[in-house]
Amino acid sequence: MIAGNGAAAWGARLARAEIIPNFPITPQTAIIEEIASWIASGEMDADFLPMESEHSVISALAAASSAGTRVFSATSSQGLMLMTEMMFVTSGLRLPVILVNVSRGLSAPITLWSDHNDVLVQRDSGWLQIFCSNNQEVLDSVVMGYKIAENSEVLLPMMINLDGFTLSVTREPVEIPSQNEIDDFLPAYNPTHTILDPKEPMSMGGAVFDEYMYFRSQQRMAMCNSKDVITDICAEWGKMTGRGWGHELVELYCLEDSERALLICGSESAILKYTVDKLRAKGEKVGMLRLRAMRPFPCEDIIDALSDVEEIGVIDQDVSPGSGGIIATEVKACLGRSVTSFIAGLGGRRIDAEKYEKIFGRLGRDVEEWIF
Amino acid sequence: MKNPYLKKLTDIPMEDYLVGGHVACQGCSASLGLRLALKVLGKDTVVINGSGCMTLLPVYPTTPLLVPWLHLAIENTGAAGTALYYALRRKNIKANILGYAGDGATYDIGLQSLSGAAEKNIDMIYICYNNQSFGNTGHQRASSTPRASYTSTTPVGKVEVAKDMPAIMAAHKIPYIATACPSYPIDFLNKVTKAAEVKGMAFIDLLVPCPVGWDFDPTEGINIGRLAVRTGMWKLYEIVDGRVNLTYIPKKRREVSEYLRAQGRFSHLSDEDIGAIQAEVDREWDELEARGYEYELGI
């Protein structure tokens, strides 16, 4: 039984992350505390670098990754915001950094509880973004994350999100693979595109003139490539552990004959699944699609899964004031049809089965509705 | 073992690791400072650069640098150097880590990150190439800008005095701190050698006269640097274990007007203003003379 934060730390430990720059922030702190204790006890061989800010954390991640070491850190909310500038630098330099974000609503007003606005502010930063629904998925995603991000067809950083409190402090049964198993699965990181060795001098982070757009298109291509890489690596992981995580980029639940479906991401999907079961027992044809990957955005998977569904709603635990639910906007663009956009669960506001039942009853309208 | 310290100009190594063909301005002392520093640090050096003028040395697809170079952003040279120290150790790469960042990236936006690296006493050499302004964006005010200097954001002259960065670094108890100027290459390079020798962080504040921002003819950079030192307006010293030691004492100090009148950034000053600056410099040096040129900083 381990909490989500412990699962994230285990992922980093099993992946043999070598450099761990860190800065405390609620609700992430337990991740770095766990790693600090393992390094102190000799159970994990890594350098623990307490930095002076999250900006310095991401800078250290980028520098250490540039030198070819495997790196890991975790942050939340305000910390992730402070990293913003360097998020783009990290993806632009094509550094396969793994950063866990424990989602937490953004200030002001201050909240400690989870929503997804922090993650979605970084949506366009060129990072792969994975949302986890339980603690096992957190551990699995971190380990798989290195293999995906370090793939020569990808070479992009990855952010793995777990929801603050609902996952971060909640204990669940988690199967921890053996170190030997992981060592076979994940080879050491030895990059050829970034080297900081006087034997092979390389200038990194220089200026360009009009090649800028070329480099951006390379990033886009890597993001496109990542879809197949994620699918393949999830399949490999599934073969090894018996856990493949659904359709890899999305998880489908009871969608085969659904007339109504809700799209969601993160741990709140658990109660939604429970609600789906409850309504199905009453004969209602409802289903759920959980978005695992926000980037790359799994448009084809969403079309395949939802094109026959009559009424679709999107639960956004985020909002772009003046536009609406961020994910709903993307889903509309992807499907080319209207969906009902529900803004719910901001700042950890509870979404229980009763609310989901109400939401299922309010589909079929092209509106933005706030569920308090 | 060969004495690593230089005595005369011809002792300076011929090897270059910053070579020609780059786009730094004519008469740029910042690129000269880097070129000189790399001569003594040698090929086993990795440079971390904070955004500024020097960031434009490598322009895709070319680079004038024959040593590894990493630029991330303006405010994180200290953090990047910290991570690089550990990363290179893990990779079994033995190299000097040279942070090379401007004064804006050091005194101002990068101070937090630099302080973090200094507090951890990371084994790196941090050279602040100090043109006393945000130079790359066109000479705007920085906390390193001297009082009375024109900048494009202090059109009537800066009111406040410059931050005492070496003293701030001394408060971090790092083993080696120095000021320097490329106009005094032997003094500068022997300080770089000492910086590389010490275990832990070394900080060098390198005054680099900027022909564009300071407004003087590009052929005059070396002279302007000499005048800064000979007038006593830029002191050359080291701080080791909290003790300050002046490494150059002008025998007869030149009038500050010689230095100030040679630069457009001070052209708005009246004779009276210059007299006030002279009086201030005289007072500082009188105090120095009274207590000796080697003294406890008392931090």
pLDDT value of residue A245: 64
The CATH H-level superfamily of A2-241 is: Thiamin diphosphate (ThDP)-binding fold, Pyr/PP domains (3.40.50.970)
For residue A259, the one-letter residue type is E
Answer yes or no: do A204 and B70 touch at CB < 8 A.
yes
For residue A77, the one-letter residue type is S
Task: Give pLDDT < 70 ranges for chain B.
Answer: 1-2
pTM score, two decimals? 0.97
With CA atoms as reference, the chain A residue closest to B86 would be: A47
Q: Which of A337, A160, A339 is nearest to A260 (CA)?
A: A339
Which residues of chain A lie closer than 8 angstroms to B81, CB-CB? 63
pLDDT in tens, A102-139: 999 999 999 999 999 999 999 999 999 999 999 999 99
Residue B55 at interface with chain A, using a CB cutoff of 8 Å: yes
Instruction: Give the nearest partner residue to B63 out of A60, A206, A208, using CB atoms.
Output: A206
Instruction: Give the nearest partner residue to A198 out of B44, B49, B75, using CB atoms.
Output: B44
Q: Which of B144, B248, B117 is nearest to B188 (CA)?
A: B248
pLDDT in tens, B264-299: 999 999 999 999 999 999 999 999 999 999 999 988
Average pLDDT over all residues of chain B: 97
Query: Mind telling me how many Å the CA of B196 is from chain A's nearest CA?
Result: 16
Residue pair A187/A94 in contact by the 8 Å Cβ criterion? no
Size of interface A-B (CB pairs under 8 A): 153
pLDDT value of residue A243: 86
Q: Which of A104, A99, A20 is nearest to A60 (CA)?
A: A20
pLDDT in tens, A195-249: 999 999 999 999 999 999 999 999 999 999 999 999 999 999 999 998 876 558 9
| Surface of B (205-244) touching A: CB under 8 A | none
Instruction: Give the nearest partner residue to A56 out of B60, B79, B91, using CB atoms.
Output: B79
With CA atoms as reference, the chain B residue closest to A212 would be: B60
Task: Give pLDDT < 70 ranges for chain A.
Answer: 245-247
Instruction: Give the nearest partner residue to A198 out of B46, B86, B89, using CB atoms.
Output: B46
Query: Mind telling me how many Å the CA of B227 is from chain A's nearest CA?
Result: 34
Fold classification of A250-371 (topology level): Rossmann fold (3.40.50)
Answer yes or no: do A198 and B93 touch at CB < 8 A.
yes
Query: Mind telling me how many Å the CA of B106 is from chain A's nearest CA?
Result: 14
Domain ranges of chain A: 2-241, 250-371
Cis peptide before B61 (omega within 30 of 0): yes
Query: Mind telling me how many Å the CA of B100 is from chain A's nearest CA?
Result: 14
Residue B9 DSSP code: G
User: All domains of chain B, ordered by start, with CATH?
Assistant: 13-296 (3.40.50.970)
Query: Mind telling me how many Å the CA of B140 is from chain A's nearest CA?
Result: 22
pLDDT value of residue A244: 72
| Surface of B (112-151) touching A: CB under 8 A | 112-113, 115-116, 119
B136-140 contacts at long range (C-beta below 8 A, 24 or more positions apart): B136/B51, B136/B52, B136/B53, B136/B55, B136/B56, B136/B102, B138/B213, B139/B210, B139/B212, B139/B213, B139/B214, B139/B265
Answer yes or no: do A205 and B70 touch at CB < 8 A.
yes
Instruction: Give the nearest partner residue to B90 out of A18, A62, A209, using CB atoms.
Output: A18
pLDDT value of residue B1: 54
Beta-carbon contacts of B157 under 8 Å, excluding residues fewer than 6 positions away, are B147, B148, B149, B150, B268, B269
Q: Residue B98 in 3-state DSSP?
A: strand
With CA atoms as reference, the chain A residue closest to B63 would be: A203
Answer yes or no: do A203 and B46 touch at CB < 8 A.
no
| Three-state helix/strand/coil letters over chain A | CEEHHHHHHHHHHHCCCCEEEECCCCCCHHHHHHHHHHHHHCCCCCEEEECCCHHHHHHHHHHHHHCCCCEEEEECHHHHHHCHHHHHHHHHCCCCCEEEEEECCCCCCCCCCCCCHHHHHCCCCCCEEEECCCHHHHHHHHHHHHHHHCCCCCCCCEEEEEECCCCCCCEECCCCCCHHHHHHHCCCCCCCCCCCECCECCEECCECCCCHHHHHHHHHHHHHHHHHHHHHHHHHHHHHHCCCCCCCCEEEECCCCCCEEEEECCCCHHHHHHHHHHHHHCCCCEEEEEECEEECCCHHHHHHHHCCCCEEEEEECCCECCCECHHHHHHHHHHCCCCEEEEECHHHCCCCHHHHHHHHCCCCCCCEEEEC
Of all residues in chain B, what percent carry a pLDDT higher than 90? 97
Residue B150 DSSP code: -
Q: Residue B96 in 3-state DSSP?
A: strand
Which residues of chain B lie closer than 8 angstroms to A47, CB-CB? 86, 89-90
Which residues of chain B lie closer than 8 angstroms to A210, CB-CB? none
- The number of CA neighbours under 13 Å toward the Cβ of B71 is 23
With CA atoms as reference, the chain A residue closest to B69 would be: A203
Candidates B34, B72, B84: best to mutate against A (most CBs of A within 10 A) is B72
